[in-house]
Amino acid sequence: MSTYAVKHARPNGWWGMAIFVATEATLFGTMVGTYVYLRILNAHWPPPNVVKPPVLTPTLLTVALVLTSLPMQRAWHAARHGRRSAAWRWILAAATIQTAYLVWQAHDFMLLVHALHPSGSAYASVLVTMLAADHLHVLAGILLNVWLLARIATRLTPYRVAGIQSITFYWHAVNVISAVVLIVQVSAHF
């Protein structure tokens, strides 16, 4: 018998999520690259007649969203140790904050769309597209959390633990992407 621990492969769901996150990182990398390219190409960025997006509220909301990585990580830790109800509560806490983030951001997004008019400039178009894509990814994560809450409400299985691991990984990626989108959004002020 070997004294080394047996290493197990990551679950298929984790690999599927890793591939999905890689494609999403590519999508956002393309949008950020487009923004940077247009900023370098134009003498005035954003255009002088365009309203700059707010800074404080999106920053505070994004910090709150990024902090939801902690309860998601705690949920996965609790699930790995067979503590179903603790995992459920951690996911619920994260989902509550994430939902509040999305509701507030959706309201502010609608105000921004009316102020910027995406068809009015390349700046408005790329910024609105990037924000909309980011918000849709947050919505997808919330729906995944709701699915997790329903699945682990009664029992915890190895399959469900792998699901928590995969969705936690997704949230870490979404939070990093949201932070990058925030940096791009507030860069108009620099």
Whole-number pLDDT of residue 7: 54
Structural domain contains residue 65: yes
Whole-number pLDDT of residue 11: 86
What is the per-residue pLDDT across 35-89, written as a single tens digit (0 to 9) for each?
Answer: 999 999 998 899 888 888 899 999 999 999 999 999 999 999 999 999 999 999 9
Structural domain contains residue 9: no
| Reported confidence tier of residue 10, pLDDT bands at 50, 70, 90 | confident
Domain hosting residue 66, numbered range: 15-189
| Reported confidence tier of residue 116, pLDDT bands at 50, 70, 90 | confident
| Cα distance between residue 91 and residue 69, in whole Å | 10
Structural domain contains residue 184: yes
Number of compact structural domains in the chain: 1
Structural domain contains residue 92: yes
27: domain CATH number is: 1.20.120.80
| Cα distance between residue 136 and residue 119, in whole Å | 20
Structural domain contains residue 4: no
Average pLDDT over residues 7-24: 89
Structural domain contains residue 6: no
Structural domain contains residue 56: yes
Structural domain contains residue 2: no
Whole-number pLDDT of residue 16: 94
